Amino acid sequence: MKRLLFPLLFLGVAFVCAAGNAPRLLFTEKNVAHLKTPEGRRKVVELAERGGKNRIEAWSLAYRVTGDKKYAEKVREKLRRECLPPNAAPWSGGLGGAHKCYEMGLGFDSIRDTISPEERKAIASGIVTRGIEPMLAEWLFGRTRTTTLDSMGHNWWSACVFLPGFAALAVSDEEPRVLPYLERIKTATKEWFEYPGSGLNNKPATFDREGGFYESVGYGNYALSTYLTFHTAWKSARSDALPEIPLLDRVGDFFLNSCYPSDNGLLSLNFGDSSLHADGSRPLVWLRANGLGKPRHLWYLAQTANSSCKEAIPRNSPLGLVFYPSAEELANAPALPDLPTSALYPDMGGRSCATRGGKTRRCSP
């Protein structure tokens, strides 16, 4: 193992983009520039002062947009509390730990220019030892994985691997030990999309060849979104590309093919552990942010712009303000998606059928 480590470290160093202390994952200067207007600043500050959910996101964005260091200090206090001694126990090995990795990684990346090199090193070490390493040991590394012998065919796997990967991107300057982890996660992206299933464990393939997600619309939203969050950060922070994933050209249409407008808003085919009101807007926002969206996806995002789905990206949220299409773009969305009226998902054994002229759309397994 030691003989493999040094080439991987060298490889990782070679591919990290030189960005100094500027954020390089989500709230980059390019991504937040459109919010540096009086109206944009008002919305951002309102979110930061509101409290509640997404506080790390809201404070981080407020600092990047306004430059007010009181918001950076709020993030720094949270980082110190979660990552520095006397706290030493690992974060949970499930979704809680995965999302804590995301929050700490985003906060660290967003305010790194306000933290001394010594404290950056200490906080980065805490993120690795409390979050990244325990999560990857449980979910990715073969010799230590304890969740199951084969956990890849599951929506949790995406969150529990790719969100620690997001955090690893954030601390890779300060913690070179994460560089071989990133190389392993890089290869795992293709493995996850191409997971063939397991007869022994009664697991189907993660994705249908046409882009369907067998667990449901809601879990398809969640699994794809956590991967695409990592994909977005990787593309921004690194000069080497992730493996090509042909399915990314088709996964967005799965949500369009599994929905139907009604007088009660856009409804989704209810199968698996999902609901009629689940939607796929979040991965469509991320696909668009990566240049992988399609004009017809705007139709769906216009339909779900005021979604109450818990997995959606609300327009008036930190991520929504940065990445959601503008009101003007939504107003110019196609009247109907340019898709056939029937779609077949052969590996899932499903077909969707639709009428385009009115507000009826019928999908059947």
pLDDT digits (tens, 9 = 90+) for 51-90: 777 899 999 999 999 999 999 999 999 999 999 988 778 8
Calpha distance 194→16 (Å, rounded): 27
If you average pLDDT over residues 245-253, what whole number do you get?
A: 96
Same domain, 171 and 241: no
Two tokens at 307?
A: 């979604």
Domain that holds residue 292: 207-365
Same domain, 10 and 158: yes
Same domain, 149 and 211: no
Closest CA to 55 of 75, 35, 41: 75
If you average pLDDT over residues 169-178, what whole number do you get?
A: 97
Same domain, 246 and 155: no
More confident residue, 311 or 145: 311
Same domain, 222 and 342: yes
Whether residue 199 is predicted with pLDDT greater than 50 in this model: the reply is yes
The answer as to whether 249 is a domain residue is yes
Calpha distance 300→305 (Å, rounded): 8
The answer as to whether 184 is a domain residue is no
If you average pLDDT over residues 248-255, what whole number do you get?
A: 95
Mean pLDDT of the chain: 88
DSSP bridge pairs for 362? 353
Same domain, 61 and 116: yes
Q: Give first-to-last CA distance, the chain, whole Å.
A: 47
Pairing of strands 259-262, 342-345: unpaired
* All residues at 6 or more sequence positions from 325 whose CB lies less than 8 Å from its CB, including other chains: 285, 288, 298, 301
* All residues at 6 or more sequence positions from 236 whose CB lies less than 8 Å from its CB, including other chains: 17, 24, 25, 26, 28
Two tokens at 171?
A: 């601390």
Closest CA to 241 of 181, 190, 172: 190
Same domain, 63 and 146: yes
Closest CA to 284 of 271, 293, 275: 293
The answer as to whether 190 is a domain residue is no
* All residues at 6 or more sequence positions from 216 whose CB lies less than 8 Å from its CB, including other chains: 271, 272, 273, 274, 278
Per cent of the chain over pLDDT 70 is 88
The answer as to whether 187 is a domain residue is no
| pLDDT tens digits, one per residue of 229-245 | 999 999 999 999 999 99
Calpha distance 312→286 (Å, rounded): 11
Two tokens at 208?
A: 């249908």
Domain boundary pick from 176, 191, 217: 176
pLDDT at 52: 77
Domain boundary pick from 176, 192, 216: 176
Same domain, 218 and 353: yes
Calpha distance 263→203 (Å, rounded): 37
Closest CA to 286 of 252, 258, 253, 331: 252
Same domain, 165 and 226: no
Same domain, 159 and 214: no
Calpha distance 181→184 (Å, rounded): 5
If you average pLDDT over residues 78-107, what whole number do you get?
A: 91
Domain boundary pick from 176, 197, 215: 176
Residue pointed to by tokens 């469509």: 284
Instruction: Report the amino acid identity of residue 92.
Output: S
Two tokens at 257?
A: 């093919």
pLDDT at 287: 98
Calpha distance 52→292 (Å, rounded): 32
Angle at which helices 217-237 and 155-171 pack, to 10 degrees? 20
Closest CA to 95 of 54, 153, 156: 156
If you average pLDDT over residues 170-184, what whole number do you get?
A: 97
Q: How many domains does the chain have?
A: 2
- Give the three-state DSSP class for 302: helix
The answer as to whether 182 is a domain residue is no
The answer as to whether 274 is a domain residue is yes
The answer as to whether 195 is a domain residue is no
Do 100 and 128 form a contact (C-beta atoms < 8 A)?
A: no
Same domain, 10 and 155: yes
In Å, the largest CA–CA distance within the chain is: 63
CA distances to 21, 63, 162, 326 from 109, in Å: 8, 12, 16, 26
Calpha distance 142→145 (Å, rounded): 5
Same domain, 260 and 172: no
The answer as to whether 129 is a domain residue is yes
* Reported confidence tier of residue 260, pLDDT bands at 50, 70, 90: confident
If you average pLDDT over residues 324-334, what whole number do you get?
A: 95
pTM score, whole prediction:
0.91
